[in-house]
Structure 1
Amino acid sequence: MTNSIYENLDQLGSSGKAPKNPEEAVLEYVSNPRPNSHYLVRFTCPEFTSLCPVTRQPDFAHLMLDYVPDKLLVESKSLKLFLQSFRNHAAFHEDCTVGIAERLVDEMKPKWLRFAGYWYPRGGIPIDVFFQTGEAPRDVWVPNQDVPTYRGRG
């Protein structure tokens, strides 16, 4: 590849070992090849794990990221490794969900971002956490997330 938007990526194409914690994780970005177009990017992570900060037991979530890029796109492998870095990270659901969203907003500076954490039940109670930067641009199709709420055995 000659002088492309991908030339500064270190994780794409490498063995890609997950960082030990979210603070060590590096999110990589590429220039948006369509900066004059409004469009939505969606990432879904149905097998996210972290640890309860009190019991140290694993917590599981279905995460969904929707964003309208401005100048940057998050590179998918770096996002995957960043999310994997939470496997040994102890934090409440709210802290994980909002912290991930805030880091993406701070670093990527999208035109709009919506991030949802649909957490599986702990003690019989599911916790869903939602973060959004504001109203979505009017000319962007924002599909429903269609993640079913937890129904238990009924």
Structure 2
Amino acid sequence: MITDTHLQLGQASALPQTPEEATLDRVPNPHPDTDYLARFTVPEFTSLCPVTGQPDFAIIVIDYVPGPWLVESKSLKLYMHSFRNHGAFHEDCTVAIGKRLTELLEPRYLRIGGYWYPRGGIPIDVFWQTGEVPKNLWLPDQGVAPYRAR
């Protein structure tokens, strides 16, 4: 669900039980004529393995160049927390988040990095992007070191 007018910000909000139930709010970009990068980092992202039900942990980094909309951060926080009881593979979680934000925001560019902690001794890092990096944009490294016993 997408909302533009009835924001969760400033109101008591229940934690959504699933990503599908979560409402993402957006607000107008005050600088729609300017290319700039907005970054959200979720250092304690959790979801569940869809087979074993065991918890999976990741650092999720979302970079986007806003178009007409910005994501409202409280709604993003609640959306990300809704994955705590959600069973999905690492690839599905990462790409689904990127696609949902792209649909919501219509960004000029968006990339998401899912840096997943090892399960069974193997870390799985997942990267997805849409669009091209604007020509004169500073696009910093996502800041998560390659796997070294993260």
Task: Bin the TM-score by the shorter chain.
Answer: over 0.9
- Distance in 1 (alpha carbons) for counterparts of 2:42 and 2:13: 17
* Structure richer in strand, relative to its length: 2
Q: TM-score, normalised by structure 2?
A: 0.94
Give the equivalent residue in structure 2 for 1:33. 30
Q: TM-score, normalised by structure 1?
A: 0.92
Cα offset, 1:97, TM superposition: 0.2
Give the equivalent residue in structure 1 for 2:76. 79
- Distance in 1 (alpha carbons) for counterparts of 2:92 and 2:85: 14
Instruction: Report if the CA contact (8 A) 2:108-2:131 is conserved.
Output: no
Give the equivalent residue in structure 2 for 1:147. 144
Q: Could you list the structure 1 runs, at least 4 aligned residues long, displaced by more than 2 angstroms after superposition.
A: 7-10
Gap runs ≥5 in structure 1: 1-6
- Is 1:54 paired with 2:26? no
1:9-67 per-residue CA deviation (whole Å, 9 max, x = no partner) reads: 43101122210100000000000000111100000000000000000000000000000
Gap runs ≥5 in structure 2: none
- Distance in 2 (alpha carbons) for counterparts of 1:84 and 1:124: 25
Identity of aligned residues (%): 62
Instruction: Report if the CA contact (8 A) 2:113-2:126 is conserved.
Output: yes
Give the equivalent residue in structure 1 for 2:93. 96
Which of the numbers 9, 20, 23 marks the counterpart of 2:20? 23
Give the equivalent residue in structure 1 for 2:115. 118
Q: How many residues align?
A: 147
Which of the numbers 102, 114, 130 marks the counterpart of 1:105? 102
Give the equivalent residue in structure 2 for 1:4. none
Please provide the CA RMSD for this pair.
1.3
